[in-house]
Amino acid sequence: MSPRAAALPSLLAAALALSACTKDKELYPSLSILKGERVTGSFKPVAPEKLASPPPSAETRDRIAQLRADAAAANDRFLQAAQQAQAPVAAARGTEPGTAQWELGQVALAEVAARRSETMVALAELDRIYAEAQLKSEDPAEIEAAVNEVAAQVHAQDQAIDALETTLGN
């Protein structure tokens, strides 16, 4: 039997099935697009409602104030160490590594860098609090202000260390 002959019964069955669908048009709804299904007009999305974020908890605000105070105290210690490092660093300028003056200049510079790290600890803790506030959807304004304040101190400390290193000749 040829493939055409084998397909003939299937085609006849399909034709009979389709002709049955046209028999009672009033009993079945049309499959064409209805008037209400047509796309008309335009849709303007509603502006999202801006929800006010709650402020950080009293405990968090107290911790922020404490970290600000810690950073200010660390900055004062840094400034004092930087002032004390001026003379040894200036005396070490142009000396060979391994000499007593060079070593004293390096120790003074290391002391200044250690004082900077105290301020960085406060900044890192403020960054952690900021990340937690974002996760809790709290208002970050107070935390951002503290982070910016301490980051400015760290930036100024970096500049002071760079100046000392330039003086030393590193």
DSSP 116-142: HHHHHHHHHHHHHHHHHHHHTT---HH
CA distance 86 to 168: 10
The token duo for 18 is: 């389709």
Residue 35, domain member (yes or no): no
Residue 136, domain member (yes or no): yes
Residue 14, domain member (yes or no): no
User: pLDDT in tens for each of the 170 residues of the chain?
Assistant: 677 767 777 777 777 666 665 556 677 777 787 777 777 767 788 888 877 888 888 999 999 999 999 999 999 999 999 999 999 988 888 888 888 888 999 999 999 999 999 999 999 999 999 999 988 888 889 999 999 999 999 999 999 999 998 888 76
pTM, to two decimals: 0.66
Q: What pLDDT does residue 33 have?
A: 79
Q: Which residues, in sequence order, are CB contacts of 149 under 8 Å at separation 6+?
A: 68, 71
Identify the domain containing residue 148 by its residue range. 58-168
Q: What pLDDT does residue 29 have?
A: 72
Q: Which residues, in sequence order, are CB contacts of 169 under 8 Å at separation 6+?
A: 93, 94
Q: What pLDDT does residue 39 have?
A: 72
Residue 28, domain member (yes or no): no
Residue 31, domain member (yes or no): no
Look at residue 84 and give its three-state secondary structure. helix
What are phi and psi for residue 75, nearest 5 degrees?
A: -65, -40
CA distance 161 to 170: 11
Residue 32, domain member (yes or no): no
Residue 22, domain member (yes or no): no
Q: What pLDDT does residue 23 have?
A: 59
Residue 156, domain member (yes or no): yes
| Under 8 Å between Cβ of 53 and 138 | yes
* Domain count for the chain: 1
